[in-house]
Amino acid sequence: MAENFYWRKKWDRVLEWNFREPKVEWFKGAKLNITENCIDRHLEELGEKPAIIWEPNNPEERTRVVTYSRLNKRVCQFAQVLINNGVKKGDRVCIYMGMVPELAYAVLGCARIGAIHSVIFGGFSAQSIADRLYDAQAEYIVTCDGAYRGGKDIPLKSIIDDALIGNRLVKKVIVYTRTRTPVSMLKGRDVWWEDEMDYALSQIERNNIVTLPAVEMDADDPLFILYTSGSTGKPKGVVHTCGGYMVWTGYTFVNVFQYKPGEVHFCTADIGWITGHSYIVYGPLSMGATSVMFEGIPTWPDAGRFWDIVNKYKVNILYTAPTAIRSLMSYGLDPLRDKDLSSLKVLGTVGEPINEEAWHWYDREVGKGSSPIVDTWWQTETGGVLISNLAGVTPAKPSWATLPMPGVQPVLVDERGEEVTEPDEEGMLKGNLCIKAPWPGIIRTTYGDHERCRKNYFATYENYYFTGDGALKDAQGNFRITGRVDDVLNVSGHRIGTAEVENAINMHTNVVESAVVGFPHQIKGQGIYAFVITEKNTHEDDRAKNDILETVARIIGPIAKPDKIQFVSGLPKTRSGKIMRRILRKIAEGETGNLGDTSTLLDPGIVDEIKNKAL
């Protein structure tokens, strides 16, 4: 696989590893720069082909088509901007932008000079950004004045300003103009993207160079950090490296979607999440594809937006999330009427289990029964797809991710870490999903704390990478992912740790304690249900609920706001003080009958009280 990429120097060894430490080294001794694979090597043949087609939030606004040669120019220019502002190889650059092409330039500009980018999704609050900036010890930020999303303007720069109160580390903030929202610009710290780009261009022109030389990287030098939630404490900075991540995203992009040269690929994710990193930027570009980047949301100005985009750009591959499909289903078939979707060849889903109803709707109404659907299972930590059917090559099975990618070795284990070998009555193996051996895109460490990486992923079951997911395996070897088995929720395909939401709720002045669980949600897949004990008797007080929501939005971001808040006078706890989440989960799911054994509870009476007032 690795032979399909451009290396300045090839590897001495393909793989060295142990999961004990863990230590995983792919392509040791190899030298490369990922941007030479995503840009330079395509210039001769594909220079005038679109690398990125950008669809603005407002369909009335002008589309932007970025050819490979234009992408080269802009990325080199921005890389020069970074250099001019003092950024060096290994420095951390936090990127907090809307979905504009400049976000791709910023990401690739960092990669060009070996700086480590850490993109933060626009739905996170100032506090979340501050925590991430501190954890990554970031000294540079790239942001926008604001971002458009549907009918909303998000004041990104002002959120960054809040995140920077008390921060002594950040030296420069580069601000791209998108919304013309008034912003404060601090002398010496804040600079305009446009001015910096103009100056960089004049330097480049003066020196008569077309391409800024890429910095040579070791295969296992870090490429980026991306923060993601786990079952405990604060988000972890997942670290991916240059060589392995490049090979894995390129390889999976071509094989899963069966990409053929010249095709147009539309991944609807945001680059703030791993799916956008791997299948808007790095995977498609390393393979010379045309990647559609969409600034807006699927339901604005109407629920036909995806179909208009498919129609307008003759999209061949559409890759989206089950939550988007369910949401669009709820608008009926009108938004699909008169939309020419005949260019579509392959459909994909990612981020959460897809229910059969949504799968069939996607197949029938979008794929017209003739586009294979790939159900791709993977994680931030895996860099790219690990389990999926290959479009048109291996069969799909609705709501099943099906077979591992060639080279991936999944295994199901029981609570003690023993491999499950006994099928149940239906002939299925059922267990916790682990992977036996490394693939090139595997997480290498959690930034600044390797022990945390070991504990989180490699210590639960000896010698295995543990995914945190539960799964079924049928007699043919197909996998069906059933959802998280740890305290992590998947809300609209966004990973949110229950502990994080609880911490945020508990910050509210009136709150004594809280417990957060998931519940089945028609559109989001999972919703957030919070059981909250307050100091004063504020039961049923809507204002108190709104204040709690506001607190969560401040501490984490609007994406983590609970859907339901139930005030309770106590929580079901064992004698040792542990909250029995199993019981709360059942109540949140609407179970009114048997809640299982409650005899070990300190105060079994509390269960009835909570159940009777369940929302």
Q: Which of 382, 21, 33, 90 lies closest to 219, judged by CA? A: 33
Rule CB under 6 A: choose which of 140, 377, 479, 531 binds ligand WTA: 377
The alpha-carbon radius of gyration of the chain (Å, integer) is 24
Part of the chain binding ligand WTA (CB under 6 A), chosen from 157-165, 283-291, 347-355, 457-465: 347-355
| DSSP annotation of 269 | S
**Residues 418-457: x/- map of binding to ligand WTA (CB under 6 A)?**
----------------------------------------
| DSSP annotation of 42 | G
Residue among 379 and 456 whose Cβ is closer to ligand WTA:
379
Rule CB under 6 A: choose which of 135, 295, 352, 502 binds ligand WTA: 352
Residue among 108 and 374 whose Cβ is closer to ligand WTA:
374
Count Cβ neighbours within 10 Å for each residue of 22-38 and write b for 16 or more, e otherwise: bebbbbeebbbbbbbbb
Q: Does 500 bind ligand WTA (CB under 6 A)?
A: no
Residue among 220 and 352 whose Cβ is closer to ligand WTA:
352
CB 199 within 8 A of CB 174: no
Q: Does 228 bind ligand WTA (CB under 6 A)?
A: yes
476 burial via Cβ count (<10 Å: 0-12, 13-18, 19+): exposed
Q: Which residues pair with 96 in a beta bridge?
A: 143
Classify 147 as helix, strand or coil.
strand
Could you tell me which residues come within 8 angstroms of residue 371 by beta carbon, excluding any fewer than 6 positions away?
A: 344, 345, 346, 347, 363
Residue among 74 and 484 whose Cβ is closer to ligand WTA:
484
> Which residues 17-56 are close enough to bind ligand WTA by CB under 6 A?
none
Rule CB under 6 A: choose which of 19, 96, 282, 378 binds ligand WTA: 378
Q: Does 490 bind ligand WTA (CB under 6 A)?
A: yes
Sheet holding 410-413, edge to edge: 410-413, 429-435, 465-473, 479-484
Q: Does 468 bind ligand WTA (CB under 6 A)?
A: yes
> Which residues 167-206 are close enough to bind ligand WTA by CB under 6 A?
none
My answer on whether omega of the bond before 410 falls inside 30° of 0, hence cis, is no
The C-alpha atoms of residue 255 and residue 268 are separated, in whole angstroms, by 19
Part of the chain binding ligand WTA (CB under 6 A), chosen from 10-18, 73-81, 131-139, 369-377: 369-377
Side-chain-side CA neighbours of residue 427 (13 Å):
5
Q: Which residues pair with 431 in a beta bridge?
A: 471
> Which residues 254-293 are close enough to bind ligand WTA by CB under 6 A?
273-275
Part of the chain binding ligand WTA (CB under 6 A), chosen from 175-183, 477-485, 508-516, 537-545: 477-485
| Smallest distance, ligand WTA to C-beta of residue 20, A | 23
Place of tokens 């981020």: 351
| Smallest distance, ligand WTA to C-beta of residue 227, A | 11
Rule CB under 6 A: choose which of 74, 345, 484, 586 binds ligand WTA: 484
Could you tell me which residues come within 8 angstroms of residue 570 by beta carbon, excluding any fewer than 6 positions away?
A: 533, 603, 606, 609
Residue among 200 and 390 whose Cβ is closer to ligand WTA:
390
Q: Which of 236, 125, 282 lies closest to 495, judged by CA? A: 236
Site size toward ligand WTA (CB under 6 A) is: 23
Residue among 417 and 470 whose Cβ is closer to ligand WTA:
470
Strand (E) or helix (H) holding 567: strand 564-567
| Smallest distance, ligand WTA to C-beta of residue 374, A | 9
**Residues 396-425: x/- map of binding to ligand WTA (CB under 6 A)?**
-----x------------------------
| Smallest distance, ligand WTA to C-beta of residue 378, A | 5
Rule CB under 6 A: choose which of 55, 91, 145, 375 binds ligand WTA: 375
The C-alpha atoms of residue 69 and residue 80 are separated, in whole angstroms, by 17
Residue among 196 and 375 whose Cβ is closer to ligand WTA:
375
The C-alpha atoms of residue 173 and residue 190 are separated, in whole angstroms, by 5
| Closest-approach residue to ligand WTA (CB) | 380
Q: Does 460 bind ligand WTA (CB under 6 A)?
A: no
Q: Which of 377, 380, 589 lies closest to 473, judged by CA? A: 377
Could you tell me which residues come within 8 angstroms of residue 605 by beta carbon, excluding any fewer than 6 positions away?
A: none
CB 348 within 8 A of CB 257: yes
Part of the chain binding ligand WTA (CB under 6 A), chosen from 283-291, 466-474, 536-544, 588-596: 466-474
CB 173 within 8 A of CB 191: yes
| Smallest distance, ligand WTA to C-beta of residue 173, A | 27
| Smallest distance, ligand WTA to C-beta of residue 309, A | 21
Residue among 94 and 496 whose Cβ is closer to ligand WTA:
496
CA angle 451, 442, 417 (to 5 degrees): 65
| Smallest distance, ligand WTA to C-beta of residue 268, A | 13
CB 230 within 8 A of CB 497: yes
Part of the chain binding ligand WTA (CB under 6 A), chosen from 169-177, 200-208, 242-250, 371-379: 371-379
Q: Does 118 bind ligand WTA (CB under 6 A)?
A: no
CB 287 within 8 A of CB 253: yes
Residue among 177 and 409 whose Cβ is closer to ligand WTA:
409
| Smallest distance, ligand WTA to C-beta of residue 236, A | 11
Rule CB under 6 A: choose which of 33, 72, 380, 526 binds ligand WTA: 380
Rule CB under 6 A: choose which of 57, 327, 371, 376 binds ligand WTA: 376
Part of the chain binding ligand WTA (CB under 6 A), chosen from 146-154, 196-204, 254-262, 463-471: 463-471
98 burial via Cβ count (<10 Å: 0-12, 13-18, 19+): buried
Rule CB under 6 A: choose which of 163, 246, 328, 350 binds ligand WTA: 350
Residues of this chain that interact with ligand WTA (CB under 6 A) are 228, 273-275, 350-353, 375-380, 401, 467-469, 481, 483-484, 490, 495
